[in-house]
Amino acid sequence: MADFLGMMKQAAQLQSKMQAMQEELGNVEVEGISGGGLVSVRMTAKMEVKAVKIDPSLMKPDEREIVEDLLVTAHNDARRKAEAAMQEKMQSLTGGLGLPPGLGLT
Average pLDDT per run of 10 along the chain, which is 106 residues long?
Answer: 78 82 82 90 84 86 85 87 84 66 52
pLDDT at 106: 45
Q: Which CATH superfamily is domain 27-93 in?
A: Nucleoid-associated protein YbaB-like domain (3.30.1310.10)
Domain ranges of the chain: 27-93
Handedness of CA 74, 101, 93, 48 (dihedral sign): positive
pLDDT at 37: 92
94-97 long-range Cβ contacts below 8 angstroms, 24+ apart: 94/14
